[in-house]
Structure 1
Amino acid sequence: MATDTAHSAAHSTLVPATHAASRRLTHVTHEAFGPLWSPDSRVLMLGSIPSPASREFGFYYMHPRNRFWPVLAAIFDEPTPQGIDARRDFALRHRIALFDSLVECDIDGASDASIRNPVPADLRPILHGSHIGHIFCTGATSARYFTRLCRPMLDDAGINMPMTRLPSTSPANAAWNLPRLAQAYLPVRDAAESEA
């Protein structure tokens, strides 16, 4: 069954970390909005954990300078979708599922390098309930946690799913401009349009 709880709450659960070494860390969970997918999804795109902007708006890649949505618009030759409803419709129409490698961690702002106590996402229900044939991780951190924490769960379930690491669309990844990112993301379009 398709799951889309993007509007269930405005904010993720935030609990200040208590130990002294983590004074700047915030405990973040993925409870405010879950995975976006449908039985017709062909690809699953994974970030690491929602950024503060995404947690504020309750949807994926909502920082105004993140290039995720402009990149997807470019590879499908469409205008960039604006707003949560348009972005949800865009992803589902192009058979793209969205989630993260982690559902819980301690993190300082949006700094993936600061992540502590990561808890992996259980991707098995999404993969069992859809036609997803390929996973794409949108950055090194997502790929690392997928490989280290999510992949063993899939292996134990007998799910042999290919994963491709893509460059991050974060504004922090300034070395990659929009045309270069779009070129790197073309395999997402090819996999999403596949009937295999």
Structure 2
Amino acid sequence: MKFVEKYDKKGNFEMTHVIHEIPPVYDDRSKILILGSFPSVKSREGQFFYHHKQNRFWKVLAAVFEDTLPETIEEKKEFLLRHNIAIWDVIASCDIEGSSDSSIKNAVPNDFSFILKTAPIRQIYTNGGTAYKLYHKYCEKVTGFEAVKLPSTSPANASYSLERLISQWNQISNT
């Protein structure tokens, strides 16, 4: 992950400009595209999506598809492809404070065209409101797909229990 720290005129830390370097996971059978906003610090360190142990993404998907919880990066990739899921993030680079979606500035979107040309995507889902807003702002007109906003699996979304997340995310199993 490439990044550049930015400081104000007094030398105080402001933001970090980060370039997303985690490649998307997809193949020519992917029917669902799940988009996050931008990788968290833990995901950037671990070089894979939803790498933070407290993020409920993998638990939710395992429950929705009634499958074993994947643990390793390889198991997670196999899980996604087995269930015809593609995964990536809306943003290719941005200024961000830590993992805070609300701090994202100067966002540059990813180009999804190669995924959409390769895979028979039927539906795009976003993991949370920020991903949805960013997708709508930067990508929807380009892709021609309306996204469905799902509640964030982030631990910051404490108003959603695991059971409630599973209930809301269950719609992806019908795609």
When the two structures are aligned, how many residues end up with a matched partner? 174
* Aligned positions of 1:34-73 closer than 5 A: 34-73=23-62
Rounded to whole Å, the distance in 2 between the matches of 1:153 and 1:18 is 34
Q: After the TM superposition, which residues 149-168 of structure 1 pair with which residues of structure 2 at under 5 Å, given as runs?
A: 149-154=138-143, 160-168=144-152
Deviation readout 1:136-195 (Å, 9 max, x if unpaired): 0000000000000111322xxxxx32310000000010110111100101111111xxxx
**8 Å CA contact retained: 2:140, 2:146:** no
Letter in 2 for 1:135: I
2:164 is equivalent to residue 180 of structure 1 = yes
Pick closer, same or farther for the CA change 1:56–1:71 going to 2, 3 Å. Answer: same
Aligned positions of 1:83-98 closer than 5 A: 83-98=72-87
Corresponding residue number in structure 1 for 2:155? 171
Find the aligned partners of 1:98 and 1:20 in 2 and give their Cα distance. 39
Amino acid at match of 1:100: D
* TM-score normalised by structure 2 residue count: 0.95
Question: How far 1:34 moved relative to its partner?
Answer: 1.3
Letter in 2 for 1:112: D
SS in 2 for 1:16: strand
- 1:20 Cα offset (Å): 4.5
Q: CA deviation at 1:108?
A: 0.4
- Residue 24 (str. 1) matches residue 14 (str. 2): yes
Alignment RMSD, CA only?
Answer: 1.4
Quick check: 1:139–1:165 contact (8 Å CA) kept in 2? Answer: yes
Match of 1:9 in 2: none
Contact 2:7 2:14 in 1 (8 A): no
Structure 2 stretches lacking a partner, 5+ long: none
**SS state of the match for residue 119, structure 1?**
strand
2:16 aligned partner, one-letter code? T
For residue 131 of structure 1, what is the aligned residue in structure 2? Answer: 120
Paired residue type of 1:137? T
Tell me if structure 2 keeps the 8 A contact 1:122–1:153. no
1:118 aligns with 2:102: no
The answer to whether the 8 Å contact 1:133/1:162 transfers is no
> Aligned equivalents of 1:162 and 1:106: distance in 2?
26
TM-score, length-scaled by structure 1: 0.85
Distance in 1 of aligned mates of 2:14 and 2:56:
27
Deviation at 1:18, TM superposition (A): 4.1
Whole-Å separation in 2 of the counterparts to 1:113 and 1:38: 31
Determine what percentage of the aligned residue pairs are the same residue: 40
